[in-house]
C-alpha cells in the first residue's frame, strides 16, 4: 500500500479533543458581533469541549472574513460561507448537520441570547432529563423586555396560534435559542423546512410531541451591533410553516401564494380586456391577447416579489425569467383547455370542467415555474 494513503491508526487519546457541544450561529451582517460572542462563549464554557460553527450567507459586510480570521487562531471556530442562499432556518440546519458533537445548540450572533445558560442546558441533555432544551422568554424568570409593544404583541399572537393550531405544549416555541441531542435532530432533519425563520417551531411540530422538552428561562437582551433582519415577511413565513405542518406538508405556502397570485391575474386579465375592448376599441382576439399578456406579466412580478422572494431574480435574469414564464404559462393554458375539454366531454358540467382545467393550469404553471423560472441554483 502507498505509504501516503495508509490509514492513520486510531489513537484513543484523541477522543478527549472531540467536542461534546457544537454551537451553531447563523449570521448575516454581524461582523462586529463575532469577537464579542466568541469571548463570551469562551468564558461561559470553561471545562466543556465545545466548538462554534458560524453559518454566514455571504454577508456583504464580510462577517465570514472575521470568522475565518478567528478560526485560523482557534480550531474550535469554524465557518460555513454559503453563496447564493439566504435563510435562517436553512443556515441552522446546515450548521448542525455539518458538525458532529452529540449535542448541538443554536443561538443568535447579536448577544441577545444568554450564553451563561449553555452549561445548564447541556447538563439537562447529558443527564437524559431532556432531548431538547429551550431558552425560554415566556416562563417564570424569563423575559423579552427589550421588545417594543408592537413586536411583543406579534410574538404573543404567533405563539398563541402555534400552540392552538399545532397543539404545541411549549411556552416559547418561537425562541431562536435551543439545544438538542444530535441523534434526535438527525432523525427530524429530512422533514424540516429550510425556508423561514422558525426552526424551533418546525422541530417541535415535526416531532409531534415525541421530544422530551425542558425550558430554561433567560432574558432576551438588546442587539449589540448591527441591524435586525426581521421584516414583515417573517409573518408570512410563520403562516406558511403553520399551514404546512397543519396539513402534514400537503399544502406549501409557496403553492398557496402562487395560486393566490394566479387569482389576482384573473382580475388583471378581465380589467385589461375591458379597457382594451371598451376604451381602446380593440377587436376581441387582440384585446384577449393583451389581457393574457398583461396578466402574465403582473403574475410574474408578484411571484418574483412574494412567492419566490428568497430566490428573487434580479437584473438581466428578470428578463430571461419573464420570457420563460410566458412560455410556461402558454403551455399551461393549453393543458388547462385540454383538461377542461376532456372533462366536459365526459360530463357536460361547465363549472366542473372549467375548474378542473384551471386547477391543471395552476399546478402545471407552479411545477414548471419552479423548474425553469425560479430554479434553485
Ligand X SMILES: Nc1nc2c(ncn2[C@@H]2O[C@H](COP(=O)(O)OP(=O)(O)OP(=O)(O)O)[C@@H](O)[C@H]2O)c(=O)[nH]1
Minimum distance, C-beta of residue 32 to ligand X, in the bound complex (Å): 11
Smaller CB distance to Mg ion: residue 110 or 115?
110
Q: Does 40 bind ligand X (CB under 6 A)?
A: no
Task: Please count the CA atoms within 13 angstroms of the CA of 353 that sit on its side-chain side.
Answer: 14
Q: Does 218 bind ligand X (CB under 6 A)?
A: no
User: Which neighbouring-strand residues pair with 179?
Assistant: 105, 133
The span of 26-34, 162-170, 186-194, 364-372 binding ligand X (CB under 6 A) equals 26-34
Rounded distance between C-alpha atoms, residue 259 and residue 358, angstroms: 10
Q: Does 115 bind Mg ion (CB under 5 A)?
A: no
DSSP 338: H
DSSP 310: G
Rounded distance between C-alpha atoms, residue 231 and residue 247, angstroms: 26
Q: Does 148 bind ligand X (CB under 6 A)?
A: no
Minimum distance, C-beta of residue 373 to Mg ion, in the bound complex (Å): 33
Contact (CB, 8 A) for 101 and 125: no
Q: Out of 108, 114, 131, 202, name the contact with Mg ion by CB under 5 A.
A: 108
Q: Does 327 bind ligand X (CB under 6 A)?
A: no
Rounded distance between C-alpha atoms, residue 81 and residue 326, angstroms: 35
- Restricting to residues 59-88, name those near ligand X by CB under 6 A: 86-88
Q: Does 135 bind ligand X (CB under 6 A)?
A: no
DSSP 171: S
Q: Out of 163, 182, 225, 229, name the contact with ligand X by CB under 6 A.
A: 229
Q: Which residue has the cell 371598451?
A: 278
Q: Does 50 bind ligand X (CB under 6 A)?
A: no
Rounded distance between C-alpha atoms, residue 130 and residue 121, angstroms: 9
Q: Which residues bind Mg ion (CB under 5 A)?
A: 108, 110, 112
Which residues of this protein are in contact with ligand X, per CB under 6 A? 26-28, 30, 55-57, 86-88, 91, 108-110, 112, 176, 223, 228-230
Amino acid at each position: 500500500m502507498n505509504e501516503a494513503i495508509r490509514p492513520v491508526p486510531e489513537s484513543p487519546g484523541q477522543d478527549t479533543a472531540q467536542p461534546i457541544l457544537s454551537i451553531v450561529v447563523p449570521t448575516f451582517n454581524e461582523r462586529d458581533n463575532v469577537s464579542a460572542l466568541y469571548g463570551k462563549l469562551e468564558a461561559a464554557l470553561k471545562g466543556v469541549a465545545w466548538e462554534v460553527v458560524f453559518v454566514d450567507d455571504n454577508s456583504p459586510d464580510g462577517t465570514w472574513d472575521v470568522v475565518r480570521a478567528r478560526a485560523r487562531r482557534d480550531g474550535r471556530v469554524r465557518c460555513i460561507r454559503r453563496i447564493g442562499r439566504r435563510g435562517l432556518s436553512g443556515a441552522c440546519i446546515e450548521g448542525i448537520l455539518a458538525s458532529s458533537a452529540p449535542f448541538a445548540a443554536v443561538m443568535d450572533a447579536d448577544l441577545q441570547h444568554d450564553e451563561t445558560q449553555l452549561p445548564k442546558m447541556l447538563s439537562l441533555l447529558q443527564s437524559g432529563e431532556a432531548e431538547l432544551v429551550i431558552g425560554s422568554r415566556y416562563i417564570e424568570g424569563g423575559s423579552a423586555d427589550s421588545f417594543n409593544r408592537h413586536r411583543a404583541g406579534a410574538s404573543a399572537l404567533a405563539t398563541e396560534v402555534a400552540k392552538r393550531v399545532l397543539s404545541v405544549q411549549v411556552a416559547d416555541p418561537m425562541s431562536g435559542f435551543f439545544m438538542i441531542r444530535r441523534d434526535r435532530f438527525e432523525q427530524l432533519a429530512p422533514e424540516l423546512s429550510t425556508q423561514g425563520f422558525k426552526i424551533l417551531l418546525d422541530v417541535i411540530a415535526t416531532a409531534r410531541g415525541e421530544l422530551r422538552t425542558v425550558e430554561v428561562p433567560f432574558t432576551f437582551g438588546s442587539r449589540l451591533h448591527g441591524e435586525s433582519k426581521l421584516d414583515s415577511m417573517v409573518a408570512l413565513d410563520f403562516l406558511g410553516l403553520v399551514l404546512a405542518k397543519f396539513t402534514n406538508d400537503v399544502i406549501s405556502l409557496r403553492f398557496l401564494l402562487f395560486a393566490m397570485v394566479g387569482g389576482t391575474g384573473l382580475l388583471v386579465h378581465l380589467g385589461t380586456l375591458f379597457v382594451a375592448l371598451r376604451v381602446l376599441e380593440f377587436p376581441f382576439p387582440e384585446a384577449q391577447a393583451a389581457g393574457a399578456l398583461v396578466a402574465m406579466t403582473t403574475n410574474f412580478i408578484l411571484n418574483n416579489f412574494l412567492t419566490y422572494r428568497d430566490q428573487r431574480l434580479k437584473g438581466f435574469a428578470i428578463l430571461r425569467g419573464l420570457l420563460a414564464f410566458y412560455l410556461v404559462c402558454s403551455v399551461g393554458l393549453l393543458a388547462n383547455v385540454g383538461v377542461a375539454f376532456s372533462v366536459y366531454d365526459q360530463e357536460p358540467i361547465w363549472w366542473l370542467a372549467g375548474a378542473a382545467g384551471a386547477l391543471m393550469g395552476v399546478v402545471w404553471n407552479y411545477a414548471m415555474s419552479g423548474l425553469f423560472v425560479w430554479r434553485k441554483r
